[in-house]
Chains A and B, each alone.
Chain A
């Protein structure tokens, strides 16, 4: 069955770095664009970043530009989010997701908590 498994979260101090990973299985990863979406505690959903199926098209929300880098390894069915210069406002559950805009099926990881605090 389709699975997206998020990992790599945790507690980090302001200014620190983390790398999130998302391992995909059960579908043809190379056919799908991927996104990272986050949700701060008690808040709404926020789209963070997009990467095209081959990795050649990338976009970010303004608040993470220059600090976050999305990438993918199609040979290993994996998606990544390198997060640098982390701020308290980056504290959130981060979800990897495929094809969220449709058509077809959208798939989501279980979410991983990133806490930025001193």
Chain B
């Protein structure tokens, strides 16, 4: 199975900060990676698909990049509503696997 390792596991940041979350795959997955945001008690919401395609309706401050084994999710200017947990998902090979999550907290 492909292991997805996210870093950091948690972070504190301030409104307006640039935030970068990394996801590393244990083997190459081309661009078959999606990013999700989940707020406490809420259903996950997809932000990015195919590594760098921003989902319709998602603010432009969110962007994704990468291919192969290393991927990043960037929030260019963190907003109050962005404090949440973020997950990557590889869908190159079954079984699909999520990263363990990155919790973004208020500094």
Q: Which residues of A contact B89 (CB under 8 A)?
A: 45, 47, 100-101
Secondary structure type dominating chain B contacts: loop
Q: What is the 8 Å Cβ interface bit string for chain B, positions 4-48, against chain A (1 contact, 0 not)?
A: 000000000000000000000000000010101010000110100
A109, B44: Cα distance in complex, Å: 10
**Known: A44-B101, A59-B95, A61-B95. Contact between A103 and B44, CB under 8 A?**
no
Number of A interface residues at 8 Å Cβ cutoff, please give it: 22
Give the number of residues in B that approach A within 8 Å (Cβ atoms). Answer: 25
- Contact between B98 and A102, CB atoms less than 8 A apart: no
CB pairs A–B below 8 angstroms (15 shown) = A37-B44, A50-B96, A59-B94, A61-B95, A62-B1, A62-B95, A95-B43, A101-B89, A101-B96, A102-B34, A102-B49, A102-B50, A102-B55, A103-B53, A111-B43
